[in-house]
Amino acid sequence: MNRKKIVILGAGYGGMITTVKLQKMLGTNDAEITLVNKHDYHYQTTWLHENAAGTLHHDRTRIKIADVVNLNRVNLVQDTVVAIEQDEKKIKLENGELTYDYLVVSLGFEAATFGIPGLLEHAFTIGNINSARLIRQHIEYNFARYNNEKEERPELLNIVVGGAGFTGIEYVGELVNKVPELCKEYDIPREKVRIINVEAAPTCLPGFDEELIEYTMNYLESKGVEFKLGTMLKQVSADGVLVEKDGVQEEIPSQNVVWAAGVRGNSLVEEAGFESARGRITVGEDLRAPGYDDVFIIGDCALVMNKETGRPYPPTAQIAMQEAEVTAHNLKTLVQGGDKLEAFKPDLKGSVASLGHGQAIGVVFGGKKLFGMSAVIMKKIIDNRYLLKLGGLGLLLKKGKFNIFK
């Protein structure tokens, strides 16, 4: 019996859906499946802005892998990938080494920092459970410090968010709910706290529907968010940021700088020597890496061109999950000796962004605009649908979001 070895790197949306599909689709004699992940839990990246603001506890966001993956069927290796050696079909881990017949790279994203001075040292990014928890605790600590300082220290209370794409907007939406709570807790007048969202493009959510952009701006401004549009964040230091608009520079004092201005693929794929642009590999229709018929790349490490627009599909959980389904199907074909692989065809269902408690916006089903409560309900449906898909009714009841006002 020649059982093929399938190794899946990363238990995010792409890795988890590939694994749960494969464990159902393949018999024990077909393949040995190994899932490698830094932690023994999977987290829903799409909820991390809530954890970073402190409006949702991070234990709601993480799910024990053992609760949804059958560990009699899948080897779970809790370790950190340090190198992919695709020519030798080897994976180097911090604590060992693995070999594979087929590899799935689903290692997700990193913040794109564009070489901005001081960013790595002084700004926070919303990237995983630990980085989100750190942001929440850091801001709370600075609020706690504020009334214990002899001088006025606005940098402790100013929160600067770099980027008003979906991540930046969803995060400031949570902050408008959290900041009043923190003010009450730490005896701080609300008007002393500034939430400043800096965006290089002339609008927030560049490229999105204009009416929904206006709705978003009006709502968030009414809750005290200051937008600095057409403004580049140029530099970060220990005590603030330097921004520039129309050649005019301004310093904003802040020790709470959260960088949400773009993502790139995991740098391990670049280091492995795959041809990539900012850590994203342009994959073939069947999601394999060019020149490597035994390597599938999915999720935020993969780049798939939209032939209609001539631009790549954006890195989203929605796409990562759809890619995972095709990859599981293609792996089944390969291990069972077939060679007719399925081509990946994204089925874009729309985008919905939360703006905090009881508020959201979105465009779904090819153009239907949603805002307010209808968008909130749609967002909950999307989140709950994922849980159902991943772990069935049990997981949905344990981790689902059912309160439309929170």
Catalytically active residues, by annotation: 170
Alpha helices in 186-316 (DSSP H): 210-222, 267-271
Distance CA(33)–CA(5), nearest Å, equals: 6
Q: Under the criterion CB under 6 A, does residue 38 sit at the interface with ligand FAD? A: yes
> CB of 34 within 8 A of CB of 5?
yes
8 Å CB contact between 4 and 30: yes
- Decide whether 15 or 163 has the Cβ nearer to ligand NAD: 163
What is the Cα–Cα distance from 43 to 402, expressed in whole angstroms? Answer: 19
Kindly state the number of chain residues that form the binding site for ligand NAD, as judged by CB under 6 A. 25
Structure tokens at 111: 């913040």
Helix-strand-coil split of the chain, %, nearest 5: 35, 30, 35
Task: Write down how long the chain is.
Answer: 406
Helix/strand/coil (H, E, C) string of 101-167? CEEEECCCEEECCCCCCCHHHHCEECCCHHHHHHHHHHHHHHHHHHCCCCCCCHHHCEEEEECCCHH
Choose between 155 and 199: whose C-beta lies nearer to ligand NAD: 199
Q: In the complex, what is the shortest distance from the CB of residue 101 to ligand FAD, in angstroms, rounded to a whole number?
A: 20
Closer residue to ligand FAD, CB minimum distance, 183 or 213: 213
Q: Choose which of 261, 302, 334, 363 interacts with ligand NAD (CB under 6 A).
A: 261
Residue 68 identity: V
- Output 162 or 240, the one with its CB closest to ligand NAD: 162
172 contact, one of ligand NAD, ligand FAD, none, CB 5-8 Å limit per kind: none
Site string for ligand FAD, 169-208 (x = CB under 6 A): -x--------------------------------------
127 touching ligand NAD, by CB under 6 A: no
Q: Which of residues 343-402 bind ligand NAD (CB under 6 A)?
A: 351-353
* Per-residue contact flags (x/-) with ligand FAD for residues 113 to 152, judged by CB under 6 A: -------------x-x------------------------
For position 167 contacting ligand FAD by CB under 6 A, the verdict is: yes
Task: Print the binding letters for residues 308-337 with ligand FAD: x by CB under 6 A, - otherwise.
Answer: -------xxxx-x-----------------
* Nearest to ligand NAD of 61, 167 (CB atom): 167
Alpha carbons 179 and 142: distance in angstroms, whole number: 12
Residue with nearest beta carbon to ligand NAD: 165
Evaluate whether 86 touches 205 at the Cβ level (below 8 Å): no
**Backbone φ and ψ of 99, nearest 5°:** -115, 160
- Note whether 107 binds ligand FAD by CB under 6 A: yes
Q: Residues interacting with ligand NAD, by CB under 6 A?
A: 162-168, 170, 198-201, 206, 232-233, 260-263, 314-316, 351-353
